[in-house]
Amino acid sequence: MKKKFKFRFSRRAFAYPYMIFLLLFVVVPLVIILINAFLDDAGKLTFDNFVEFFTDSGGGLTVLGNSLIIGLVTTLICLVIGYPCAYFLAKYHASNRVLVLLFILPMWVNFLIRTLSTKAIFMALDVDLGMGTVLFGMVYNYLPYMILPLHTTLVSIDHSYIEAAEDLGADKMTVFFKTIVPLSLSGIISGITMTFIPAISTFAISEILSSSKIFLFGDAINMHFSKTTNSFGVGSVMSLVMLVLVILSNLAVNLTSKDEEVKSAL
């Protein structure tokens, strides 16, 4: 007799829809982008798309360089502002968690709505749209992504390390820079990654808050995939470059996390 198949609810069964979703909307699009990177407009195999990007004949490397600079500046500003905020939130985390909620609330609003509202404020104040407004909008949108991982790391620090440093005669500044900051390094790396990658790949913020004056890497990718330009090959190459940057950033985070685990074990 044939055995009847019985479906059982298990952890593996609940993972199937997620695996199907990843296959259809992550793996398949990446494969299509990879194939388009090696095809010309006639559908023939070519390396001209890579040549056009890396020889900067289309200005791709220049745009990437500008985006990296703006991304670094945005990340640095977010780190300078975000670390004190995260430290303050971690210090009063147990007594008042409403403060943490106030920093999370902006993330509940769509970033496009936040950016359009920011532009409306600038226009009402008669502020010229340009690099300054773009940096302001990027810091405003990505600051929570710097604060949250820092806050999580600072809250998880064992307070006995701080007490031990104080018992050994270290003042508050020494405790902060030689104890708290090194122990929060993994949160700093995570915050930098979560801020830097979106900052260099954004296109809506730069387009809206500069009236299309500032042209970033995300804008270039969007332009190559638009119907007017229709240069999917170069756009696919640029998307692969962005994917490589994301992978390298994640590897840096993983290596840092492993180093922190080894140090804590020792």
In tens, the pLDDT along 155-188 reads 888 888 888 888 888 888 888 888 899 888 888 9
Q: Does domain 59-265 have CATH number 1.20.120.450?
A: no
Give which of 180, 141, 189 is closest to 162, Cα–Cα: 180
Q: How many CB atoms sit inside 10 A of residue 84's CB?
A: 11
Per residue in 88-113, pLDDT tens?
A: 888 876 556 777 777 778 778 888 88
**Buried-exposed string 141-152: b where 16+ CB fall within 10 A, e elsewhere:** bbbbbbbbbbbb
Average pLDDT over residues 43-56: 84
Give which of 237, 262, 242 is closest to 199, Cα–Cα: 242
d(CA 150, CA 89): 10
**Is pLDDT at 228 greater than 70 in this prediction?**
no
**Is pLDDT at 198 greater than 60 in this prediction?**
yes
Q: Yes or no: say if 160 and 150 are a contact pair by the CB < 8 Å rule.
A: no
3-state class (DSSP) for residue 147 = helix
3-state class (DSSP) for residue 39 = strand
**Is pLDDT at 206 greater than 60 in this prediction?**
yes
Mean pLDDT of the chain: 84
Q: What is the pLDDT of residue 82?
A: 93
Average pLDDT over residues 1-29: 77
Biggest distance spanned by C-alpha atoms of the chain = 81
Poorest-pLDDT segment among 6-15, 111-120, 133-142, 224-233: 6-15
In percent, how much of the chain has pLDDT > 90? Answer: 26
Q: What is the pLDDT of residue 121?
A: 93
